[in-house]
A and B are shown apart, each in its own frame.
Chain A
Amino acid sequence: MKILDWLLGVIINPVQTFREIARDKPIGWAFLLYLGITTLTSWVSGIDLQEFNISPLQLFVGSLFFSIVMFFVLTGLLNLLSKGFQGTGSYWGLFSSLAFAQFPTIFLPVSRLLGQVADRAGSILAGIFSFAVFVWVLVLDILALRESQEFSTGKSILAYVLVCIILAVFFFIALVVGVLTMPEL
């Protein structure tokens, strides 16, 4: 099965793998993969918050929906900005590559479990491991963008940073508007 080759390729040979994925555009597999990864990570987040009387199921459904919507938005913004940097790839090629770039995130439940079983040392190791996975996925995102849009690493990083800034500003404005229309805190 090619998907298994691609998943392995994301770990051991990401550059070549993203090039292939961007060319073949396995949209269905990419969507299923992203759904599967988000399902696992959203469920684990829900477990973490049940002490605060937040239902894991409610958080899971909300988190899943939000993650999927944001992924489409993020990919769209990246594609738009890439065109500004003379990128030549397509939206679905980028979508597929970015979805596969999230694969290492499935290690987060493992790190969470490690933190739970190995007590204090485990918590520290779990924290370091989670951070390492975060950086790993970030690098894969940049590579996926670069290979699918066929431009330089510098442009890829710039496009990614700009999208993050745009989303942060938009979120902040939405928050301020939301707060201004709320009754007094």
Chain B
Amino acid sequence: MSGKRMLVVVLIVIAVLSTIILTVTSTQEGKRLYELERVVIIYLQGAIMESAGSWYTSSGITPRQVARQLERAMDEKSIKAVVLRIDSPGGSVAASQQIAGMIRGFEKPLVISMADTAASGGYYISAPADGIVAHPGTMTGSIGVISSLFYFDEFYEKLGIETEIIKTGRHKDMLSRKLTDEERRIMQEISDGAYEQFVAEVAEGRNLEIDYVRELATGQIYLGSQAFELGLVDRLGGIEESIELAAEIAGLEKPVKYEFPPPSFFEQLTMFSACIPSLLERMTGSPELLLLEKIKHGFSPQLRYQLVIP
């Protein structure tokens, strides 16, 4: 074989050898990854809601999003514990209960690290965790329920919209007009029921007497330092202290901080594509109808575990 042909053979052999070496070293790397004691930090920011909504509502914390992240943390063998970094004023009752259930049932050690705010629903989902760490200045607590009802009669009149209700049951339209006294009592009973659920969740998650929790559950906001004194959080500190606590609970000797990689180009492209129909609707839709839809979405009656900030 001539020298030139030999050169081609040598190049091919080098390429194949490189691939083999990469395979062998990555297998070893894979084993090393498995032996790592990783503590993953998952960031949850925004209001708690059932779904992400359309493009004009800000994204928040949804049960689907949390489930996906926790599932990923569960599947990766190198992850031994989880820290959820929460920055939320709370939100939907049902969504908060769903997320709390996921956290309660999570099989690896899970610690909450509270950011600026982890109040109301933000505290609800924190309560069942294995540990809670808050900054001294974190706003937390606000254990309570709120419902806001909005009356749109004059607004519809301005838009030239007339409404006619045909109903069965005298209370069927109670959330679309001013409440009667009887209906106000019904709404209060509903709020009280959701409140008792909140108190029970905190009492069980934090291993506190239910009467004690009821005393704290006035809807009052507590600073992190106050919450620590009251037994609502376990430790004061930030992410590093949360990792320490998670490592203690999990029995890790050399915890390694870890974050999931950002979405790939393809995932980002998919997310952008999901916004295209809404963008087109915004560009071609009537401004009045868009405003009406935004208001209906934002002001729909809801029972909420949420810190109210004007």
Contacts and interface: CB of A to CB of B under 8 A. Distances in A.
B65 to A, nearest CB: 10
Classify the interface of chain B: helix, strand, loop or mixed: helix
A185 B30 CA distance: 31
A138 B224 CA distance: 59
A176 B276 contact: yes
A116 B15 contact: no
A185 B277 contact: no
Contact of B8 (A8, A40, A56, A109): A8
Contacts of B12: 7, 106
Interface in A137-185: 172, 175-176, 179-180, 184-185
A168 B22 CA distance: 32
B274 A7 contact: no
A113 interface: yes
Interface in B6-21: 7-9, 11-12, 14-16, 18-19, 21
A56 B274 CA distance: 29
B270 A175 contact: yes
A47 B26 contact: yes
Size bin of chain B's contact surface: 20 to 34
Contacts of A184: 51-52
A136 B52 CA distance: 45
Interface string B27-70: 00010010000000000000000011000000000000000000
A112 B273 CA distance: 32
A107 interface: yes
B76 interface: yes
Nearest to A175: B273
A4 B12 CA distance: 10
Nearest to B6: A4
A4 B5 contact: yes
Interface in B262-310: 269-271, 273-274, 276-277
A74 interface: no
Given A53-B75, A179-B273, A185-B271, A44 B8 contact: no
A64 to B, nearest CB: 14
A116 B25 contact: yes
Classify the interface of chain A: helix, strand, loop or mixed: helix
A43 B19 CA distance: 8
A40 B23 CA distance: 11
Contact of B22 (A5, A44, A172): A44
A81 B75 CA distance: 47
Interface residues of A, number: 28
Contact of A106 (B11, B21, B23): B11
A8 B7 contact: yes
A56 B5 CA distance: 33
A110 B11 CA distance: 10
Contacts of A7: 8, 12
Contacts of A4: 1, 4-5, 8-9
Contacts of B51: 184
A176 B22 contact: no
Contacts of A179: 270, 273-274, 276
A50 B19 contact: no
Nearest to B261: A52
A107 to B, nearest CB: 7
A62 to B, nearest CB: 13
A110 B15 contact: yes
Contacts of B23: 43, 47
A139 to B, nearest CB: 18
A119 interface: no
A185 B270 CA distance: 10
B5 A51 contact: no
12 contacts: A5-B5, A7-B12, A8-B5, A50-B26, A52-B261, A106-B11, A107-B15, A110-B14, A112-B18, A113-B18, A176-B276, A180-B277
Interface of B: 1, 4-5, 7-9, 11-12, 14-16, 18-19, 21-23, 25-26, 30, 33, 51-52, 72, 75-76, 261, 269-271, 273-274, 276-277
Given A51-B33, A185-B270, 20 more contacts: A1-B5, A4-B4, A4-B8, A8-B4, A8-B7, A40-B15, A40-B16, A47-B26, A50-B30, A52-B261, A53-B76, A106-B11, A107-B11, A107-B15, A110-B14, A112-B18, A116-B25, A179-B274, A180-B277, A185-B271
